[in-house]
Amino acid sequence: MLIDAFAKSSRTSRIGFSAALIGIMAIAVYNWLVRPHAQLLQAAQQYEIVMGDKARKNKILKSNEKASRQEVEKLRAELAGARAGLFTPVEVNRFFSDIEIICYEANCIARSMTFLGNVDKLSVSIGDNKVVVANSAAVGFAGSYGDIINFLAKLTNRTQKVLIRSLKILSSDDETNLLECELMITVCIVHDEEAFTNE
Amino acid sequence: MPKTSLGVDISDETISLALLKETGGGVKVLKAASGPVPAGAIEKGNVKDAVILARAIKALRGSCKIGGRRAVVSLFAQPVLTQIMQLPKNLPSNIGQYVQKEAKHCAVLPCKNVLSDYCGISSSKSGCSRIFTVATEIEKVYQLIRALSEAGINVEAVEPAEIACARALYEKEIVGELDSNVLIALVEGSEVTLIVFRSQTLDFVRKRNIGEDICQSEQGRNRFAEEIDAIVQYYAMEIDDTVQNWRLLTVVRQDGQNVEEVSGFLRNRFAEFEIEVVSETGACKNMPFAVEPDAESACLIAVGLAMRLLDVPQPKLKMNLMPPKSAEVRAVKQDMLVAANVAGAILLAMLLLVAVLKVSLNKTDEVIGQKKKEQSSLGTGDLLVERTRLKSQANSFREEIEKLNKILGSGYTGDWSLVLEDVRRRTPEPLWITNLSGGSNSELVVKGWSGSYEAIHLFVDMLGDSEHIDSASLVEAEKSESAGGLVSYAINCSLAVPEGT
């Protein structure tokens, strides 16, 4: 019936009907066949852009990471250097007990040594559960100017840092012509934080 | 582009096909086939069962591999009115309607739905226009077209066999015959169609059933000769034709008939005429073009039918008994074909588009794969975590260094031995130091006695030039009479902070 109606209709109607049918078919085929592929391609292209962007960012991040790593290494070395200037509790005991010997080696006469403890209340916590505490002592000795210089050189020429906080040289009134020297030295001792707290 | 055309001639006993091909070099008969009409397909000159007939045509085409869809078919229907009509002096405005009307009034066609067509022929002696008309019952033609459509043949025209026969013979037998009349007799059993070409123009057509088989019986042949004689007499008496020469060309439609016998008979009877009798399947030499070896038995009428669609010399006799509805159906079919082609083209274009998209997608996938490979094993997240970790580590180190520097860098951090050594080196002769003290604020105070102010000033300058001392300034200088005129002094020095602390 429909075919008959189609055949009996005018040519214009037939063309119109066919065109409409073809149009609907074209839209349907486009939606069913072409569009998913087009959308997939679009998504893939967007993904490609994102990937490119990510690669660029990763490149920047990698170069930053390299720079950061170098900086960390530099800081690590610097820190190692700084840590080397610290005494351990054992080393500090040995150091103070050796001062008289150092005096002797420098041709100086040791007069006095007073332990002042942490007079400046300097203590800081560092990494690895360690705490650094300053420990001071007043050292009195006599010697020639050159011997004093020699003693000071011996005192400071070591891995651990010995800070001379104050120095006083006076000429003595006696006949020995020796100079009297008074020093206040400070050393930094690294303790285990737990052990130090318990003390 | 080569063009092919198929001619289909259907008679009571035979189906004949001829495929013609038109190329740059001319037209040639490419293939031909003939086969018997299957029982039950035809009855009394009409298609009885279109399906059986279609099957037979299909089988014939298949067996001989005859392609070609565009075809012209001979008018196979009964009854058929074949007539020369003399038009009135006042020509009717619509000759087609006039012919239709006349045909309806004819006793030969006892039906309402008459299908007719006509073609102009030479004018009468009195100068009246004449037309050659053919009419038949429309339903019979529908049956014929239906059979051919079912056989997969696209019928473009339905034409009487006599016109096809005249077309096939035209170039070789009619063209150039200006000094003789050509009489073509198309014989099929007891039926004969007589066509006269006068000065290369169709002038006379007569269709007769003489009651006896012309080829088989003596009586039939005599009656056939009488018909010819009557026409010749008609031209001599009625028309006063000055042309005395006649060429008589007899085409016998049924194969295996007594062609030689008929030929001998006619030669005896019309000794003064040029006589030729041919079988319709043995008339290759009468055709104006090359015939492939396979197609030497091509039916003359089928060839004439196929010629209609090709660009070959042919008489101006075009008649098409295609029913208007069939033409409409053809138009609808054509429109549908166009629509189907457009739809197909759109579908193909979309498939191509999909293919292009797929190729692009594959390329993009490859690029993505490459980019994935190029990227480090660590993802962005890992890199960010690593960056944060390094940053926090650096901060922690920096903080610790800062703390340690704070504690280790309190007070003067330079080497006192070097400072003292330098001070000794820069002390002038008439000057001695009695007191030297340095504090945590990087200051050095030097006190002592001097023999002169100049020595003190020199000492200040010398200290000021030291690399371990930033600046040296005289704080106090006083001459003491009690000390024998010596000058006591006090110099304040600001110690240089060594680099890197």
Q: Are B493 and B465 in contact (CB under 8 A)?
A: no
Q: Are B495 and B414 in contact (CB under 8 A)?
A: yes
DSSP B37: P
Using a 10 angstrom Cβ sphere, with 0-12 exposed, 13-18 middle and 19 or more buried, the burial of residue B495 is buried
Same domain, A30 and A100: no
Same domain, A100 and A173: yes
Sheet holding B274-279, edge to edge: B201-209, B191-198, B180-188, B245-252, B274-279
Q: Which of A81, A99, A130 is the last residue of a domain?
A: A81
Contacts of B390 in chain A (CB under 8 A): 65, 68-69, 71-72
Backbone angles phi, psi at B320, to 5 degrees: -135, 115
**Residue A65 lies in domain:** 2-81
Q: How far apart, in whole angstroms, are the C-alpha atoms of residue A22 and residue B149?
A: 26
pLDDT, tens digit, for every residue of B277-304? 988 887 777 787 788 888 888 888 999 9
Nearest by Cα to B105 from B133, B126, B71:
B133
Report CA Rg, chain A. Answer: 44
Token readout for B289 is 């073009």
Same domain, B420 and B400: no
Check CB contact under 8 Å for B403 and A25: no
Same domain, B133 and B212: yes
Q: Does residue A198 carry a pLDDT above 70?
A: no
Q: Which of A62, A81, A100 is the last residue of a domain?
A: A81
Same domain, B84 and B179: yes
Check CB contact under 8 Å for A37 and B358: yes
Kindly report the nearest CA distance between residue B1 and chain A, in angstroms: 29
Q: Which of A50, A81, A112 is the last residue of a domain?
A: A81
Token readout for B426 is 């820069």
Q: Where are the alpha helices (DSSP H) in B313-415?
A: 324-374, 380-408
- Here the CATH number for the domain that contains residue B70 is 3.30.420.380
Residues with Cβ within 8 Å of residue B479, at least 6 apart in sequence: B485, B486, B487, B488
Same domain, A111 and A167: yes
Residue written as tokens 């009877």?
A: B269
Same domain, B168 and B133: yes
Three-class SS state of B177: coil
Q: How far apart, in whole angstroms, are the C-alpha atoms of residue A85 and residue B408?
A: 8
Which of B254-263, B327-336, B369-378, B491-500 is predicted least confidently?
Answer: B369-378
pLDDT computed for residue A151 by the predictor: 92
Which among A65, A152, A188 has CB closest to B383? A65
Residue B371: inside a domain, yes or no? yes
Same domain, B200 and B223: yes
| Chain center to CA of B54 | 31
Residue B411: inside a domain, yes or no? no
Q: Which of B270, B289, B322 is the last residue of a domain?
A: B322
Same domain, B237 and B347: no
Token readout for B11 is 């008679």
Q: Could you tell me if A76 lies within 8 Å of chain B, comparing CB atoms?
A: yes
Same domain, A94 and A185: yes
Which among A30, A72, A146 has CB closest to B393? A72
Q: How far apart, in whole angstroms, are the C-alpha atoms of residue A33 and residue A39?
A: 11
Residue written as tokens 């091509």?
A: B298
Kindly report the nearest CA distance between residue B101 and chain A, in angstroms: 26
Residues with Cβ within 8 Å of residue B67, at least 6 apart in sequence: B4, B19, B61
Same domain, A113 and A26: no
| DSSP strand pairing (B443-450 vs B431-438) | antiparallel
Same domain, B101 and B241: yes
| DSSP strand pairing (B3-10 vs B14-23) | antiparallel
Q: How far apart, in whole angstroms, are the C-alpha atoms of residue B187 and residue B182?
A: 16
Mean pLDDT within B440-468: 89
pLDDT computed for residue A7 by the predictor: 65
pLDDT computed for residue A126 by the predictor: 77
Same domain, A93 and A180: yes
Q: Are B306 and B20 in contact (CB under 8 A)?
A: yes
Same domain, A69 and A99: no
Q: Does residue B254 carry a pLDDT above 80?
A: no
Residue written as tokens 């070409």?
A: B197
Backbone angles phi, psi at B22, to 5 degrees: -105, 120
Q: Chain B residue with minimal CA distance to A153?
A: B417
Same domain, B303 and B397: no
pLDDT, tens digit, for every residue of B481-497? 887 888 999 999 998 88
Nearest by Cα to B419 from A27, A167, A97:
A167
pLDDT computed for residue B360 by the predictor: 94
Q: Are A118 and A132 in contact (CB under 8 A)?
A: no
Q: Which of B322, B353, B378 is the last residue of a domain?
A: B322
CA angle A55, A58, A62 (to 5 degrees): 140
Same domain, A56 and A97: no
pLDDT computed for residue B96 by the predictor: 85
Residues with Cβ within 8 Å of residue B237, at least 6 apart in sequence: none
Using a 10 angstrom Cβ sphere, with 0-12 exposed, 13-18 middle and 19 or more buried, the burial of residue B463 is buried
pLDDT, tens digit, for every residue of B39-58? 998 888 888 899 999 999 99
Same domain, B10 and B79: yes
Q: Which of B322, B357, B387 is the last residue of a domain?
A: B322
The more confidently predicted of residues A94 and B294 is A94
**Residue B170 lies in domain:** 3-322
- H-run or E-run covering B477: strand B469-480
Same domain, B9 and B75: yes
User: What count of CB pairs under 8 Å joins A to B?
Assistant: 198
Residue written as tokens 């053809």?
A: B330
Taking CA atoms, B453 is separated from B23, B433, B434, in Å, by 135, 14, 17
Counted domains in chain B: 3
Report CA Rg, chain B. Answer: 62
Same domain, A122 and A180: yes
Same domain, B309 and B252: yes
State the CB neighbour count (10 A cutoff) for residue B273.
Answer: 18
Q: Are A180 and A172 in contact (CB under 8 A)?
A: yes
Q: How far apart, in whole angstroms, are the C-alpha atoms of residue A154 and residue A136?
A: 18
pLDDT computed for residue B26 by the predictor: 83
Which among B329, B405, B407 has CB closest to A122? B407
A90-125: string of b/e by CB count within 10 Å (b at 16+)?
A: ebbeebbeebeebbeebebebeebeeeeeeeebbbe
pLDDT, tens digit, for every residue of B95-139? 888 888 888 877 777 777 888 899 888 777 777 888 999 999 888
**Which amino acid does the sequence have at B175?**
V
Three-class SS state of B62: helix
Flag whether the pTM goes above 0.90: no
Kindly report the nearest CA distance between residue A1 and chain B, in angstroms: 15
Q: Does residue B500 carry a pLDDT above 60?
A: no
Counted domains in chain A: 2
Token readout for B228 is 């010819």
Same domain, B208 and B159: yes
Check CB contact under 8 Å for A165 and B410: yes
Q: Does residue A76 carry a pLDDT above 80?
A: yes
Taken in order B118, B119, B125, B129, the sign of the CA dihedral is positive
Residues with Cβ within 8 Å of residue B475, at least 6 apart in sequence: B445, B490, B491, B492
Same domain, A37 and A94: no
